[in-house]
Structure 1
Amino acid sequence: MKIVLLEPLSIREEKLKNLSSKLLEMGHEFIAYDTVEKDEEILKERVKDADILIIANNPLSGEVIKAAKNLKYISVAFTGYDHIDQEICQARGIKVSNAQGYATEAVAELTLGMIITLLRNIVKCDEVTRCEGTKAGLMGNELNGKTVGIVGTGGIGLRTAELLKVFNCNLLGYNRSQSPKAKELGIQYVSLKELMSKSDIVSLHVPLTKDTKELIGEEELSWMKKNAILINTARGPVLDSKALAAALNEDRIAGAGIDVFEIEPPIAPDHPFFHAKNVLVTPHVAFATEESMIKRAKIVFDNVYSWMNGEEKNIVI
């Protein structure tokens, strides 16, 4: 079989060779591209003879998938898989697996970092200190004892909750199903409206589906406290960007930490968040640590070897 890695996995070449060596020993062909390609015609050429594709978060359209006549399986080096044409995969019987769990620690830690940065005005403190300023007007707030609403109590949401427990936070949860582990952590499940209205901090950790697209919009934001902050390290489209920017500019909520957008960075300078008050933005970096990249590469290749052995591991389609 021909296995094609369509984009780099952000690991050292030596590590990639170690993970892929078994494929060559088994007599398979392995090709790894070290650039992220956006041109669909070039992508079609890269995939045309592939039996297996390994991708990260670069979009894989239906037209590109159609060009891969021999394609049977896709191993996604990412938790989300909404960047793949799922209908085409289902229609052709192409199995898809993800790398769920690889970035749990990384995303949870950045979430906590964003919360503390906003509560303690760290970015503004840095700016004024460099300009001979003082702490005047920069009184912060403690995380200790705050009520935090976790929207989405999957692996990342629960790990975030575990970290917040260290700060003696009261935890509210909203999810389609209730997790026993969440209850062990002391998370109280409530309606979305109750979570939004009672929380000092709201943190989003849901996947992007037809049910979660713009889950948080103008109405949901209107339920929040004026001194509350919102964090989104999940997927960009689960949040209405224009509605959040308006809520911030009109002082209806106090701040926001945003790592994800409607599209992958770079983001155009006219994006609503770049013209809103007290927004901390990062370029979809929550998952990106040296440790998490190694974890996901191992998961991705393990998924491939498992599928070859007739085992379906981490299958999402």
Structure 2
Amino acid sequence: MEIAVFSAKSYDRQHLDAANAAEGHQLKYFEVPLDNETVGLAAGHGAVCIFVNDRADATVLEALGRGGTKLVALRCTGFNNVDLKAAQALGIKVVRVVDYSPNAVAEHAAALLMAVNRKIHRAYNRTRDFNFSLEGLMGFDLCGKTVAVIGTGKIGRVFAKIMVGFGCNVIGYDKYPSPEFEALGGRYADEGEIGASADCISLHCPLTPETHHIINAETLSRAKPGALLINTSRGGLIDTEAVIGALRSGQLGGLAIDVYEQEAGLFFRDLSGIIVDDSVLQQLITFPNVIVTGHQAFLTREAVTTICETTLRSVTEFESGKPLTNEVGAG
């Protein structure tokens, strides 16, 4: 099957080509993201393969349908960038990667937590200039602290397991409680407990209308003063301007994010030679207690291999007329 692959980086091409050896599809790579301006590149392709910041709204999907596309294959777990109702109305199927490597994302979240707590980023920059002063680099022991896990699905549970290993008191919140989370040693928090007692909060829930800006001025005002906030899920979970206010006041002790609510057009690109016209992000990265990584939590060999294999297997299922194991419905 002919597949138009958008937002294709070198690692995408390498791993998709390797996975395709077993599937035999025709892959056409485009480094640009899928949107209104680039959708014409997909004409004549039965399937498009897209990533987290590609746009598949109703307008784009209509154009895809006119060009002969019958399948949208997301090489990621989240699908908030696809208008599922429009896809259903147009007869376009949507598949995603339900499970690739929860370890990859959870381990990155743990790395961010350790780095922002122990000021690893600041220490690294200092020692590059032969500055070995320890002033301003004090952190705290994670052992014995309370870590809140918002979203206790597969990734959240792996993160919780890591935190239990550090000797933390792990509390959680999820609309759908998980016995596996409790079996790991976590427990679900009572109402108001996360804000009152959490020394660290890590977000692992999907972005939905219900979870959009789940971290906002109100929830931040109820947070334990000096708490650390980690987000490796979706940028829209956080009201970034409210977080900046909490950082300025000291209510929030530190922030480490791998995702940003306005990351489309910024992340996955080298913008080091231009002036970035995003005053919110510019403010954010000036804080000494903030770490930003460019949506790399998924980026391990194991995870990318599984993502590519699963995505192409879904295309093969579609081409063969088999039930789609990883189909996303309009609900």
TM-score by length of structure 1 reads 0.90
SS in 1 for 2:123: helix
Moved over 6 A (4+): none
Separation in 2 of the partners of 1:275 and 1:12?
32
Aligned to 1:20: 20
What is the CA RMSD across the aligned residues, in angstroms? Answer: 2.3
Q: Aligned partners of 1:145 and 1:294: how far apart in 2?
A: 36
Unaligned stretches of 5+ in structure 2? 268-275
Matches within 5 A, 1:231-310: 231-264=230-263, 265-266=266-267, 268-271=277-280, 272-276=283-287, 278-307=289-318, 308-310=320-322
User: For 2:147, what is the secondary structure of its paired residue?
Assistant: strand
* Matched residue type, 1:224: A
Deviation at 1:282, TM superposition (A): 1.1
Query: How many angstroms does 1:15 deviate by?
Result: 4.7
- Check conservation: 2:73, 2:96, Cα contact below 8 A: yes
Provide, for residues 2-57 of structure 1, a one-character-per-residue CA deviation record: whole Å limited to 9, x for no partner: 43333426447565344334554xxxx6232142246634322x222232222222
Q: Is the 1:2–1:50 contact (alpha carbons within 8 Å) kept by the matching residues of 2?
A: yes
CA distance in 2, matches of 1:162, 1:124: 28
Q: Given that residues 8 and 32 in structure 1 are in contact (C-alpha distance below 8 angstroms), is that contact kept between their aligned partners in structure 2?
A: no
| Native 8 Å contact 1:23 1:30 kept in 2 | no
Give the alignment of 1:21-40 within 5 angstroms.
21=21, 23-24=23-24, 30-37=26-33, 40=36
CA distance in 1, matches of 2:239, 2:12: 37
User: Taking structure 1 as reference, are residues 145 and 125 closer, same or farther at Cα in structure 2, changes over 3 Å only?
Assistant: same
Q: Which runs of 5+ in 1 are unaligned?
A: none
The aligned counterpart of 2:328 is: 316
Call closer, same or farther: CA 1:37–1:254 in 2, change over 3 Å.
Answer: closer
**Alignment partner for residue 42 of structure 2, among 36, 47, 55?**
47
Paired residues of 1:9 and 1:56 also in contact (CA < 8 A): no
Comparing 238-247 and 133-142, the one that deviates more: 133-142
Hey, what does 1:4 align to over in structure 2? 4
Q: CA deviation at 1:110?
A: 1.0
What amino acid does structure 2 have at the position aligned with 1:315? E
Give % identity: 31
Q: Residue type of the partner of 1:294?
A: T
Alpha-carbon spacing, 1:273–1:136, altered in 2? closer, same or farther (3 Å)? closer
Any residues of structure 2 matched to 1:103-142 within 5 Å, and which?
Answer: 103-129=101-127, 130-142=129-141
Q: How far apart, CA to CA, are the structure 2 residues paired with 1:143 and 1:162?
A: 14
Q: CA deviation at 1:145?
A: 1.8
Q: How many angstroms does 1:277 deviate by?
A: 5.2
Tell me which amino acid in the other structure corresponds to 1:122: I
Match of 2:153? 154
- Match of 2:72? 74
CA 1:72/1:15 → structure 2, altered by over 3 Å: closer, same or farther? same
Q: Which moved more, 1:255-264 or 1:207-216?
A: 255-264
Cα displacement (A) at 1:192? 5.9
Give the corresponding residue for 2:223: 224
Q: What do the CA deviations read for 1:84-119 (whole angstroms, capped 9, x no partner)?
A: 232311322322111122241221111111111122
Kept in 1: contact 2:35–2:55 (CA 8 A): no
Q: Do the aligned partners of 2:36 and 2:60 also contact (CA within 8 Å) in 1?
A: yes
Q: Secondary structure at the match of 1:40?
A: coil
- Please list the CA deviations of residues 171-200 of structure 1 after superposition, one character each: whole Å capped at 9, or x if unmatched: 101001111111101221125632122111
3-state SS in 2 of match to 1:89: helix
User: Structure 1 residue 211: deviation in Å?
Assistant: 0.5
Q: Distance in 2 between matches of 1:47 and 1:314?
A: 22
